[in-house]
Structure 1
Amino acid sequence: TQYKRVAIALNSHIATINGIILAGLEPYFIPSVSLMPTTEEVISALETSGVSALLLTHPSYEGVTVDLALIADYCRKQDLALAVDEAHGSHFPFLDEQWQSAIAFKADIVTHSMHKYTGSLVQTALLHLPTDSRFSIEQVMGVMPLFETTTRSNLLMLSIEDAIKKGYSEEGQGLFWQAIGECDRLRSQLDTYGKVLTYDPQVSDPLKIYLKSDRTTGEELAELLYERGIDGEFAGEEGLLLIFSFHHNPQDFKFMRETLAAIVPILKEKAPKDTLPDSYFCRRPQMNILPKDAFFSRKEKLPIGQALGKISSCCIKKVPPGSPILIPGEEVTNWHLKVLEYNTMIDITC
């Protein structure tokens, strides 16, 4: 709790907000053009915000990365604590230096969600204290009982061990690189379709492809693929996220290539669509009181359409990936009225 004011990005998970509420911290949202801030946006925010810590979600849910080495080095020089939520990069430790985990840099705490990409059971995770962390094992172990159950699941613990062993095994490494090669082959195929069916080049995670089209939305792309037997990870206005793993075999990738080829003629028949700027999906949260104070305050329920200018005492999140679009202590603005249904019920402070 010595770190009272902390910098976070708009793509932070709801769990980060919950931790901020419980600890009574003041969040400073990094100003950014898109949900995932750039390296320059992060460092600029750290230089001017007066924060004492940075809680960074990296890589993003879509697989976008920043220069984490540069950010970590800046934090170390400025004596800022750095915690990295690497839930969406839990496979990075199994890859080579091109996709280094935050563990390899000067972060103070790194978390991994093992079920997302490494084959462990749901609800399994790892908390790392990298070399030179400012936090001691004793400090962390002293805090963990506040959140842990007193009766741990042997099944979950074993699934973590099995996932780690497989990821580092010769077989697991071979499967990872096979999947990466197949994803590269998919990108090469998409390169031949132009803007009719392409992918976001900002995504550097080798096992993720964010499909985009100048002819249709991500939701419609998802429908086209689902009708043909492929269920995407997440579809939005901008595009469709595909996530692959070492559990996908060559036959799976062959089916994917054939399906993408099959929907291109359908897309070509559509007229080009209008695209929304990245800023459409972003907001600059107007924080009027601490999230903890708002969360534990007296409340009343209102439809969002009648709450303009009021102070929220609840969280509304978009799942996946679990990023909040309204948090306790935040003022309800026209942006919220634009992205939420008019009759969405929310709690506001009295």
Structure 2
Amino acid sequence: MNRFSQEKAPILEALNRYKAMRVVPFDVPGHKRGKGNRELTEFLGAQCLTVDVNSMKPLDNLCHPVSVIKEAEELAADAFGAEHAFFMVNGTTSAVQSMVMSVCKCGEKIIMPRNVHRSAINALILSGAVPVYVNPGMDRELGISLGMSLADVELAIKENPDAKAVLVNNPTYYGVCSNLKAITDLAHRHQMRVLVDEAHGTHFYFSEDLPMTAMEAGADMAAVSMHKSGGSLTQSSLLLINNGVSEGYVRQIINLTQTTSGSYLLISSLDISRRNLALHGKQIFHKVSAMAEYARTEINKIGGYYAFSKERVNGSTIFDFDVTKLSVHTLDIGLAGIEVYDLLRDEYDIQIEFGDIGNILAYISIGDRILDLERLVSSLSEIKRRYAKDKAGMLSQEYIRPQVELAPQDAFYAESESLPLEESSGRICSEFVMCYPPGIPILAPGEKVTDEILEYIHYAKKKGCFLTGTQDSQVNRIQVIREG
């Protein structure tokens, strides 16, 4: 019999007990359960402010859990099939960084796809680990980067037998999955740890019809964004560990960068959401998959748009596909994804997750309704009728293979100078340039600036992509390593 009752929510229960005690607070936070900031209380509600509390004996401590947080983490581990789960309140960014820093020390190699989220490359800057990049597959028709092929990972391992770990991005923002089980087995045969950025895969754990989870595949660690598809508050996440990875050591690594003032709003949202998914997740995500499939079918009936799905699976760089992701290719109606994104928001009051050069992504999850999806479909139909134009001159390239010259940490801390974009070709970049979302760098520290990359940046700016990462907020200049 399972010793864990998934109907329990230890942190929620502890907070309710604490509220009933009517304790007089002479601790932080200074708003004193909302009484000291009436405007904030009116905006967020007294229910919220009364549980925005500090760590204390009845409520445990996120940095060193021994009671209710410890129990809640054990319940989460059980629900996700892990040996241990850590509650993370600095976002999945912090979870990804903690994974990398737990297995790689300064100068040690880690094999990873180049289309990782910036958090993974930030971890290299913080730790001094050295990336061995595996270029992801490319879908030329859609202009998107895919997963890593097993053959490419095998070659990287063969050429770098001293690497400590392999990091897999699974699924990608678009829903593309690599052959996670085969990559994990391969890495383990070479005594390498397997880390999975599973930010967009929370729902995989609660459905037999969705792609394999990191824990099922036997991975050692996984970063899971509960707030993305699991229903918890923004910035709350889980870090899962497996295969005897040291809980105590990973906790020490987490505590290097995570706040000592963990928000009980975030912590309790993880506890409540875990319980909801453990009890009702299968029904929830069956419904989510059906809604996404309905929307995909209706969008493809419009013509011009292409809402892609499992028909793209090729057994390698698209080993599987997350059908809950409503990814739509837009170039055939003569509009960049970012242009459709802007039109949906500005003209139709619909906020989708992102638009890039060739695609849009509508994130469908536990809070969506068929009525809202019908509105999205009809708006896309109207956008095509009102704004479609000839697709001549549209840029489709979404991933440009980088020329890596230096390790990210070396480049980031090197002496640098600011140059106008047009004068930077051939120089080594010392900062990031990326479209956000999704936050995958176009350029990362240590990579050579090329004419192709500059063309892409200018095109992305012209089309209205939100470019970030540079010291120059206008992204007209770029930091490059000083020569000589």
Alpha-carbon displacement from aligned partner over 1:209-244 (angstroms, at most 9, x marks no partner): 111241222234334533233222111221211111
Structure 2 partner of 1:334: 451
**Residue 29 (structure 1) aligned with residue 113 (structure 2):** no
Structure 2 partner of 1:180: 289
Structure 1 unaligned runs (5+)?
Answer: none
Structure 2 partner of 1:55: 167
Q: 1:113 pairs with 198, 221, 225, which one?
A: 225
Q: 1:98 pairs with 194, 200, 210, which one?
A: 210
Q: 1:68 pairs with 180, 187, 191, which one?
A: 180
**Residue 216 (structure 1) aligned with residue 334 (structure 2):** yes
Q: Quote the Cα distance in structure 2 between the aligned partners of 1:249 and 1:21.
A: 42
Q: Secondary structure at the match of 1:62?
A: coil
Q: How many pairs align?
A: 343
Q: Quote the Cα distance in structure 2 between the aligned partners of 1:15 and 1:315.
A: 11
Asked whether the 8 Å contact 1:10–1:36 carries over to 2, the reply is no
Structure 2 unaligned runs (5+)?
Answer: 1-103, 139-144, 313-319, 462-474
Structure 1 partner of 2:305: 197
> Percent identity at matched positions?
28
Structure 1 partner of 2:408: 291
Q: 2:371 pairs with 225, 233, 251, which one?
A: 251
**Residue 128 (structure 1) aligned with residue 246 (structure 2):** no
Alpha-carbon displacement from aligned partner over 1:266-290 (angstroms, at most 9, x marks no partner): 57x744546655xx33233222222
Asked whether the 8 Å contact 1:179–1:249 carries over to 2, the reply is no
Alpha-carbon displacement from aligned partner over 1:248-306 (angstroms, at most 9, x marks no partner): 12322333344345455557x744546655xx332332222222122122222112221
**Residue 143 (structure 1) aligned with residue 243 (structure 2):** no
- What letter is aligned with 2:237? A
Q: Quote the Cα distance in structure 2 between the aligned partners of 1:43 and 1:289.
A: 21
**Residue 9 (structure 1) aligned with residue 113 (structure 2):** yes
Q: Quote the Cα distance in structure 2 between the aligned partners of 1:346 and 1:224.
A: 30
Q: Quote the Cα distance in structure 2 between the aligned partners of 1:275 and 1:345.
A: 25
Q: Secondary structure at the match of 1:126?
A: strand
Asked whether the 8 Å contact 2:130–2:407 carries over to 1, the reply is yes
Q: 1:153 pairs with 255, 263, 266, which one?
A: 263
Report the CA distance shift for 1:31/1:41 in structure 2 as closer, same or farther (over 3 A): farther
Report the CA distance shift for 1:330/1:252 in structure 2 as closer, same or farther (over 3 A): same
Report the CA distance shift for 1:299/1:67 in structure 2 as closer, same or farther (over 3 A): same
* CA shift for structure 1 position 146: 0.8
Alpha-carbon displacement from aligned partner over 1:197-218 (angstroms, at most 9, x marks no partner): 2212348222211112412222
Asked whether the 8 Å contact 2:203–2:285 carries over to 1, the reply is no
Asked whether the 8 Å contact 2:115–2:136 carries over to 1, the reply is no
Asked whether the 8 Å contact 1:43–1:71 carries over to 2, the reply is yes
Report the CA distance shift for 1:272/1:86 in structure 2 as closer, same or farther (over 3 A): same
Q: Quote the Cα distance in structure 1 between the aligned partners of 2:357 and 2:407.
A: 32
Asked whether the 8 Å contact 2:200–2:225 carries over to 1, the reply is yes
Structure 2 partner of 1:346: 478
- What letter is aligned with 2:417? E
Q: Quote the Cα distance in structure 2 between the aligned partners of 1:261 and 1:312.
A: 42
Report the CA distance shift for 1:32/1:250 in structure 2 as closer, same or farther (over 3 A): closer
Q: Quote the Cα distance in structure 2 between the aligned partners of 1:19 and 1:39.
A: 24
**Residue 89 (structure 1) aligned with residue 201 (structure 2):** yes
Report the CA distance shift for 1:340/1:198 in structure 2 as closer, same or farther (over 3 A): closer
Pick which of 121-130 and 173-182 moved more: 173-182
Q: Secondary structure at the match of 1:192?
A: helix
Q: Secondary structure at the match of 1:54?
A: strand
Alpha-carbon displacement from aligned partner over 1:106-155 (angstroms, at most 9, x marks no partner): 2111011221111211221111102x25x221221232221122222111
Alpha-carbon displacement from aligned partner over 1:293-350 (angstroms, at most 9, x marks no partner): 2212222211222122222221222210111122222222222221224972222222
Q: Quote the Cα distance in structure 1 between the aligned partners of 2:151 and 2:433.
A: 25
Q: 1:318 pairs with 432, 435, 439, which one?
A: 435
Q: Quote the Cα distance in structure 1 between the aligned partners of 2:191 and 2:157.
A: 12
Report the CA distance shift for 1:11/1:254 in structure 2 as closer, same or farther (over 3 A): same
Q: Quote the Cα distance in structure 1 between the aligned partners of 2:287 and 2:415.
A: 55
* CA shift for structure 1 position 10: 2.2
- What letter is aligned with 1:27? P
Q: Quote the Cα distance in structure 1 between the aligned partners of 2:274 and 2:216.
A: 17
Q: Quote the Cα distance in structure 2 between the aligned partners of 1:281 and 1:98.
A: 26
Asked whether the 8 Å contact 2:429–2:480 carries over to 1, the reply is yes
TM-score where L is the length of structure 2:
0.65
Asked whether the 8 Å contact 1:29–1:284 carries over to 2, the reply is no
Pick which of 141-150 and 19-28 moved more: 141-150
- What letter is aligned with 2:290? G
Report the CA distance shift for 1:260/1:215 in structure 2 as closer, same or farther (over 3 A): closer
Q: Secondary structure at the match of 1:177?
A: helix
Structure 1 partner of 2:272: 162
Q: Quote the Cα distance in structure 1 between the aligned partners of 2:231 and 2:391.
A: 39
Report the CA distance shift for 1:303/1:93 in structure 2 as closer, same or farther (over 3 A): same
Structure number, greater radius of gyration: 2
Over the aligned positions, Cα root-mean-square deviation in angstroms equals 2.5
* CA shift for structure 1 position 48: 4.0
